[in-house]
């Protein structure tokens, strides 16, 4: 999650009416941690949108595959090591007798978080979301 002040430039399909969405612009607890977005329109108007409302809207209008991308996912890759052990008995079994057994060991799992990519404009601190229309 973004924990610093960021400004997102949202471009419309014509490229004329870009507006900005701002997060973490204040140290107020109710506004920190991207809880509220400040939307600045080209005509100077400002609106405030709660993150939950925006998430609900995007989820509702999204296709099934887009909704699946919005659901938090973790990928766990299990790795197994299989080998055969040969044990030479010392007691209770005939001395000198070989015991052969298969062993399957679970190696530590590799866990990755799946996150959508956001491109950052290298010339400024603003995050750019180009319109796909």
How is the chain split into domains, by residue range?
6-72+114-129, 76-110
d(CA 2, CA 108): 30
- For position 49, what pLDDT does the model report? 92
- For position 131, what pLDDT does the model report? 47
Instruction: Residue 79: name the closest of 57, 121, 111, 120 by CA.
Output: 111
Kind plus residue range of the DSSP H or E element containing 61: helix 51-61
- For position 116, what pLDDT does the model report? 53
- For position 38, what pLDDT does the model report? 93
- For position 17, what pLDDT does the model report? 81
- For position 15, what pLDDT does the model report? 77
Higher pLDDT, 113 or 12: 12
d(CA 129, CA 111): 29
Q: How far apart are the first and last CA of the chain?
A: 27
Higher pLDDT, 18 or 127: 18
- For position 122, what pLDDT does the model report? 45
- pLDDT for 6-55, tens place per residue? 898 888 888 778 889 999 888 888 888 888 999 998 888 999 999 989 88
- pLDDT for 52-109, tens place per residue? 898 888 889 989 888 888 887 777 777 788 888 887 776 777 777 778 888 888 877 7
């Amino acid at each position: 999650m973004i924990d610093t002040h960021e400004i997102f430039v949202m471009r419309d399909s014509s490229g004329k009416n870009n507006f900005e969405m701002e997060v973490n612009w204040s140290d107020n607890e109710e506004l920190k941690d991207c809880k509220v977005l400040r939307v600045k329109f080209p005509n100077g108007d400002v609106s405030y949108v709660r993150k939950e409302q925006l998430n609900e809207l995007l989820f509702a209008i999204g296709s099934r595959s887009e909704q699946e991308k919005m659901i938090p996912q973790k990928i766990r890759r299990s790795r197994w090591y299989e080998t055969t052990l040969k044990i030479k008995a010392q007691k209770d079994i005939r001395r000198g007798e070989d015991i052969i057994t298969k062993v399957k060991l679970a190696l530590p799992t590799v866990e990755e978080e799946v996150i959508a990519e956001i491109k950052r404009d290298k010339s400024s601190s603003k995050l750019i979301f180009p319109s796909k229309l």
